[in-house]
Amino acid sequence: MKRISPVAVCRMVLAGALVLGGTAFLAGCSGAQAAPESTFVLLDGSKQTTADLKGKVTLVNFWATSCVTCVAEMPKIISTHNKYQAQGYDTLAIAMSYDPPAYVVNYAETRQLPFKVAIDNTGANAKAWGNVQLTPTTFLVNKRGQIVKQFVGEPDFAALHQLIEKLLAET
């Protein structure tokens, strides 16, 4: 009998939830694992790496300007960032490779996004973070640089805030 890996099981559960039109919250599928080594190219041309995330609780959000759910959740992501930023929380929004850079820059400027925005020109970041193809896909990373939760679709922001507060309280 062929053994199926836990990652494969999580992907099947996710695919099933999405086929049924549901939003997936992968509690058991994204237990604390190290965030993948990545380099993010920010809109200003500077670079940030996964190692730079350590020491803060960070929301890593894969999104696209053409994604209706992404655009709808962005004000909540901004509000969450503003609420917790002074307590050691950060946000990194990563635009998908198919998103035209001019659209991303325009969106970030016109909405005055208060956090770092990167463009995944080559798709390497999406691939490294579990071959992200669906947007929005969001990861919550703890101060130790471990992925604690993964959300596909818009998160339940009340539950997300509770988890952020718990992670911020950790030493």
Nearest Cα residue to 90 out of 130, 18, 131, 40: 40
Largest Cα–Cα separation, the chain: 55
Q: What is the pLDDT of residues 114-144, one digit of tens each?
A: 999 999 999 999 999 999 999 999 999 999 9
Q: Are 53 and 89 in contact (CB under 8 A)?
A: no
Average pLDDT in the chain: 86
- Over residues 132-158, the mean pLDDT reads 97
Is the pLDDT at 47 greater than 60? The verdict is yes
Lowest mean pLDDT among 29-33, 64-68, 110-114: 29-33
Instruction: Give the rounded percent of residues in the chain with a pLDDT score beyond 70.
Output: 82
Is the pLDDT at 33 greater than 80? The verdict is yes
Is the pLDDT at 6 greater than 70? The verdict is no
Rg for the chain (alpha carbons), in Å? 15
Residues 6+ apart with CB under 8 A from 10: 26, 28, 29, 30
Write down the pLDDT at residue 99: 96
- Over residues 142-166, the mean pLDDT reads 97
- Over residues 52-75, the mean pLDDT reads 97
Write down the pLDDT at residue 32: 76
All domains in the chain, ordered by first residue: 25-169 (3.40.30.10)
